[in-house]
Amino acid sequence: MTPAAAMARALQLAERGKASTHPNPRVGCVIVRDGVVIGEGWHVSAGGPHAEVHALQAAGERARGADVYVSLEPCAHYGRTPPCVDALIAAGAARVSAAMVDPNPKVSGRSIQKLRDAGIAAEVGLGEAEARVLNRGFVSRFTRGRPWVTLKLAASVDGRTAMANGESRWITGAEARADVHRLRAEAGAVLVGADTVLADDPALTVRDWTPPDGTPLRQPDRIVVDGRARVSAAAKVWNDNGARRIRLGNVTAPGAEISGVDRIAVDTDIAGRLLLPEALQALAAREINEVLVEAGARLGGAFLQSGLVDELLLYVAPMLLGDAARPLAVLPGLERLADAIRFEFEEVVRVGADLRIRLRPHLLS
């Protein structure tokens, strides 16, 4: 097996943890000796053994003198498990190739140096671009101080999200809704506004999607932007299923405490709206890597105006709802085309009867 193929396999293994490792990164590891894979593993869930440990256990004594390929720099600190770099040194690996440096300042190059100090050849960079995409939320939390934000919207062909009376079930089909459940699981946290909860009383759980390869399903954290504390304790979003439940509230309107719900007080602007950058920083401080925003027109518009959307996922249903129906997002009117919020198409795929359009913000050079 070539080095490129070994790293590709490590990244493939890491993908298996997309819905279960939060807040830890997704990591895969492959151990090769004389061109043959002798051990491999992936990080399944936080608190459990890391990818390198699984791979070393599979390789056993054959790991001595072998080459190790791992999708992220091995950890160098004690957390819920011992440092993986020490395990690799003790196993007698001859060479370690990491796709990227760990952005966590507790690691961030320390393991690479420790391996070299132990006489082990260590290098970084093979498969780096793919590794950074795989752990985009983890990287964002440590480098930008906020989670990666995906804004998900669903609309008709004419850009409407609900009838004038609020009826919206269901604009998209069952396949698209199951796809959103997958997104919830992979993001690890779902954020909605109080208006959505009051109108639809959603549970925001993962029900219509099952992880592949027997990976355990970790229900996403549920976050409600509720500046005026309007959402009652009886709302389904607060049901306890092991996930964290967080209410982002106005510092001047604390409201009643809800059992099991973590309240984060956030400052507001002069119009009384929560400051979204501050809110995201608070979520990052609670080790939230990614947030799937399933917003209504107002909160979705606020995120779009804020410039905090890293990815826009638009599900488009083949129907027309008319100009009396509710818009995709509430945005201020523009006088010039040059002031438009612009995106670039990343992907357009069919999901059942609907289309899923993936867009990224257009960054001016």
| Cα-based distances in Å from 104 to 7, 114, 139, 145 | 21, 16, 8, 11
Residue of 126, 103, 158 whose CA lies nearest to 289: 103
The one catalytic residue among 15, 40, 52, 311: 52
Q: How many CB atoms lie within 10 A of CB 365?
A: 2
> Which of 359, 333, 361, 363 is closest to 347 using CA atoms?
359
Helix and strand numbers (H, E) in the chain are 10, 16
Determine how many CB atoms are found less than 10 A away from the CB of residue 307.
10
Q: Following CA atoms 92, 17, 356, 319 in sequence, which dihedral angle do they give, to the nearest 10 degrees?
A: 170
Burial letters 108-129, b for 16+ CB under 10 A, else e: eebbbebbeeeebebebebbee
- Residue 176: helix, strand or coil by DSSP? helix
Cα dihedral 220, 221, 224, 225 sign:
negative
Based on the residue annotation, tell me whether 347 is a catalytic residue of this protein.
no
The secondary structure of residue 250, as a DSSP letter, is E
Question: Distances in Å between the alpha carbon of 341 and those of 16, 117, 314?
Answer: 35, 50, 15
Classify residue 167 as left (phi > 0), alpha (psi -120 to 50) or beta.
beta
Residue listed under structure tokens 């990976």 = 215
HSE value, Cβ hemisphere, 13 Å, CA-based, for 289: 24
- What is the residue whose two structure tokens read 């040194």? 89
Residue 137, phi then psi, degrees to nearest 5: -70, -45
Catalytic residues: 52
